[in-house]
Structure 1
């Protein structure tokens, strides 16, 4: 479904122009990194020309337009904010560790070797995208919007109706995605099932998925011209994330369980709220309980 073309506000981050890619070996490395993000499956998918490491999805299935789309989970702040401490691991993480996590979670596979040509190219591309972002800063338009909490739990039954009406045409009645005949890549990625992201992926958190679809889905939607209401975004996220998908061992995640996000869907928790409520809400009671007394 076509959407209106949004003009980017002057204050929002924009990726550097291709004309600023350096010449020579460094420029080739950056271009290869972009190619790997856009067409991961071609090189690192189940039948990848380099090595079979991932489930067949591309990095840009989650980080839209090769990580350059405003509020489309872009990479603008990667180089400016890493290395950084992350509660999930309880440690300071490098860009390499963050990319490795994406391969193991969102791509439900194995990370490229840290010294490989591919990992170095991906890091170089992310560094180049952040050329104009001062160290330590996050520009406007980075990441995903966090929608206001609903005053109820997200409803997967209502979400299924949204999926059928708005999403099924691209992602399939069984969430299987669409892949052109004989192609190594999906035209539209699978949203559940064995070839989709696993339950350790960032989009398995409802607030992340809801913010993602609100400003980017269905096809053609943007932050300036969304096609779903906030409630529809929460509900369709609940439906998609209630469907089966690969499991990732997360027993070592969140060494301090009190730092788990409100909508982290897998226990144990430091509060008295159920796994069901942490996954689908309502979230405001949890947020209120966490406020300092």
Structure 2
């Protein structure tokens, strides 16, 4: 399989993504994972589904929403190193983390963006707007510079996210939103075990050195880099292995869904440990979690408000830390 051409890989990707969409949307009554907490009102048990693009109004508002969707799906074409608008990012696309342009069930979708923002976030210790949240993604996951808040690009992405969640009541987080929080292992996640999983199931797409597969035109990636200078930096959400493990469990390798995962929980944890043990760009984080007692258990850098080491906070075991915090 390593000999497949980029064009064949791209075609395979498109077909598998289409199959995943059809599988997810043809079974609206499939329940969310048992440990997934939903804020739906009592009696509401329908899985969130995104609105249809063909239902967009044929006017300026619809055009702005479509541009926002295009920016999410093909960020690098507009704002990457060779972007046609500006050169703001590392060459990855927003949908490399927010799958299928932010619409995939349990694929880090945007269903709850407008129903839950503005909201208080412990990382910044402040109430954040949607603009701040998008800016963080550009500065951390895309290791770049955020578009100006008044730019057409920022306004288009906001319009798109608002449209995706326009039927979600304020304060509600629909089923199928976000990332699954996997149960803690009774051991530390093992990067060496993760290396073997990566070699067997991931490197055919993402490369032996995590470098990804560039698109033929050199504008973006068919498959994004997972570490190295063009990947997300160490301030990104996916640099925390609990987030990465939940993400890959429901979405990777290519073709996986939360209904049909291809990794066990243990494999997901170990794979996350391996990928995040590799080199990533560094981001200055002295302003993150000024209140150390609010820092997540898996925050991969100190200082901490407890007596556990940085190594244990990064890879686990996490249960002893959780139990100590309860006390």
What's the secondary structure of 1:100's corresponding residue? helix
Q: Name which of 113, 116, 120 aligns with 2:155.
A: 120
Partners of 2:215 and 2:88 lie apart in 1 by: 21
Aligned residues: 292
1:272 to 303, 307, 313: 307
1:71 aligns with 2:71: no
Q: Which residue of 1 aligns with 2:59?
A: 24
Normalised by the size of structure 1, how large is the TM-score?
0.98
Whether 1:135 and 2:170 are equivalent positions in the alignment is yes
Question: How has the CA–CA distance of structure 1 residues 8 and 71 changed in structure 2, closer, same or farther, with 3 Å as cutoff?
Answer: farther
Moved more, 12-21 or 277-286: 12-21
Q: Which residue of 2 aligns with 1:100?
A: 135
- Per the alignment, residue 176 of structure 1 pairs with 211
Distance 2:316 2:224 in 1: 27
1:171-223, Cα deviation, whole Å (9 max, x unpaired)? 00000000133230100000000000000000001110000000000000000
Structure 1 residue 49 displacement after superposition: 0.2
CA–CA distance in structure 2, aligned partners of residues 18 and 180 of structure 1: 26
Which of 69, 85, 99 is the aligned partner of 1:50?
85
- Cα RMSD of the aligned pairs, angstroms, is 1.2
Question: In 2, Cα distance between the equivalents of 1:31 and 1:182?
Answer: 23
Matched, 1:231 2:266: yes
DSSP 3-state at the match of 2:202: helix
2:202 paired residue number: 167
Q: 1:109 & 1:65 partners in 2: Cα distance?
A: 22
Distance 1:270 1:21 in 2: 49
* In structure 2, distance between residues paired with 1:20 and 1:207: 37
* 1:158 counterpart SS class: helix
Question: For 1:199 and 1:106, how far apart are their aligned partners in 2?
Answer: 9
Consecutive unaligned residues of structure 2, counting only runs of 5 or more, are 1-11, 30-45
Q: Secondary structure at the match of 2:120?
A: strand
Instruction: Give the aligned partner of residue 210 of structure 1.
Output: 245
Q: Which sections of structure 1, spanning at least 5 residues, go unmatched?
A: none
2:279 corresponds to: 244
Q: Does 1:89 align with 2:124?
A: yes
In the superposition, the TM-score normalised over structure 2's length comes to 0.87
